[in-house]
Amino acid sequence: MSIDWTYFTPWASLTGGIILGLASAIFILVNGRILGISGILGGLFPPKVGDTTWRIAFMLGLFAAPAVFHAVVPVQYITAPRIEASDFLVVAAGLLVGIGTRYASGCTSGHGVCGLSRLSPRSLVATASFMGAGFITVYVMRHVI
Amino acid sequence: MIQKNHIHHLVEFAVGLSFGIGLMLSGMTDPGKVIGFLDLFGTWDPSLALVMGGAIMVGFFAFTVAKKRTTTFLGGVLRFPTNMDIDKKLVIGSLMFGTGWGLAGFCPGPALVSMADGQPKALVFVLAMLVGMLGFELMDRFVHAPRKAKLNAA
């Protein structure tokens, strides 16, 4: 293993992480809800009566983020995302993420951030499983195939 | 008059917005960075460890406070997850999710934000993810639930 110093962004990542933590903190303490993206989104497909407005309000905020981010952050600090996967792989990945997160009732935010923060053994198992699968998948894709 | 409902919706929007900004700032919306983190055996980008670390540091404090309370700051219900089961569903689902995460470098939140940022591949990913989510719902309703009912009846 060697560290990728070119792309390593300790301060931006730590600050971003703290913002993610603060958002999750406000969501549980003020609204009494766990901030889990796959659950919030999945609950809209299909929608249930009386359980959609809060999900949509959250999603609208999430969708407004890029516009606000670009308005606030100077352009020289923004790096273009590197998306290397082919369309076929992107579709396969999307299907796996969609089915998997619903099956496990959570993703990086619900299990990874909120679950680990509240020391849930269930979320620890989920996080270890998806991280482990992620490490293995990238190992196979980059160093085996 | 401002009702509690309005405050909740304002908070939902603001939390969604700040979460999205946090994802962009942290680098989570860059699949190259996510895969760089997952690439333990190549040139490793440790950034995402700091994202998780920073988030959990704040989150741990917040949930410690929340666990000691019986209501939210607005006097509402605290909806903590009730499912404690560590079962096949949890592990298999997470393994599927992790495989998809490693293949494209997108997890649900960053994919939605990147889609809103105008990335065509993120849109493709989100559409496939929604098909997956709907597929799971249908499976759950028409395959899992009836099977369970049958087992319970037997």
How far apart are alpha carbons B128 and B32 in whole angstroms?
A: 20
Confidence of residue B151 (pLDDT cuts 50, 70, 90): confident
Q: ipTM surpassing 0.90, yes or no?
A: yes
User: What does the pLDDT read at residue A46?
Assistant: 86
Is the separation of the CB atoms in A65 and B29 below 8 Å? no
User: What does the pLDDT read at residue A111?
Assistant: 97
User: What does the pLDDT read at residue B2?
Assistant: 67
Max Cα-Cα span within chain A: 52
How would you write B96-137 as a 3-class SS string? HHHHHHHHHCCCHHHHHHHHHCCCHHHHHHHHHHHHHHHHHH
User: What does the pLDDT read at residue B15?
Assistant: 98
Residue B153 has pLDDT above 80, yes or no: no
| B36-90 pLDDT per residue, tens | 999 999 999 999 999 999 999 999 999 999 999 999 999 999 999 999 999 999 9
Confidence of residue B1 (pLDDT cuts 50, 70, 90): low
- Name the residue of chain A whose CA is nearest to B25's CA: A16
User: Coil, strand or helix: which one is B44?
Assistant: strand
Q: How many contacts does A have with B, using Cβ atoms within 8 A?
A: 480
Of A97, A120, A141, Cβ closest to residue B100 = A97
Among A70-84, A127-141, B5-19, which is the least confidently predicted range?
Answer: A70-84
Cβ within 8 Å, pair A18-B57: yes
User: What does the pLDDT read at residue B154?
Assistant: 67
- The interface residues of chain B toward chain A in range 66-125, judged by CB-CB distance below 8 A, are 66-67, 69, 71-74, 76-81, 83-86, 89-109, 111-114, 116-119, 121-122, 124-125
| B104-134 pLDDT per residue, tens | 999 999 999 999 999 999 999 999 999 999 9
User: What does the pLDDT read at residue A73?
Assistant: 87
Cβ within 8 Å, pair B41-A34: no
Cβ within 8 Å, pair B137-A33: no
Which residue out of B51, B60, B140 would a mutagenesis test of the A interface target, given it has the greatest number of A Cβ atoms within 10 Å? B51
User: What does the pLDDT read at residue A7?
Assistant: 86
Confidence of residue A127 (pLDDT cuts 50, 70, 90): very high
Residue A90 has pLDDT above 80, yes or no: yes
Confidence of residue B25 (pLDDT cuts 50, 70, 90): very high
- Residue B84: list chain A partners with CB under 8 A: 120-122
Residues forming a β-bridge with B43: A2
Overall average pLDDT of the B2-14 stretch: 90
Residue A80 makes CB contacts below 8 A (sequence gap 6+) with none
Residue B53 CB burial class (10 angstroms; 0-12, 13-18, ≥19) = middle
Q: Which amino acid is at A105?
A: S
Percentage of chain A with pLDDT > 90? 85
Report domain extents, chain B: 4-153
| A17-73 pLDDT per residue, tens | 999 999 999 999 999 999 999 999 999 988 999 999 999 999 999 999 999 999 998
Confidence of residue A119 (pLDDT cuts 50, 70, 90): very high
Q: How many CB atoms lie within 10 A of CB A134?
A: 27
What pTM value is reported for the model?
0.95
Cβ within 8 Å, pair A137-B102: yes
How far apart are alpha carbons B126 and B114 in whole angstroms?
A: 10
User: What does the pLDDT read at residue B61?
Assistant: 97
Of B102, B112, B122, Cβ closest to residue A133 = B102
Residue B9 has pLDDT above 80, yes or no: yes
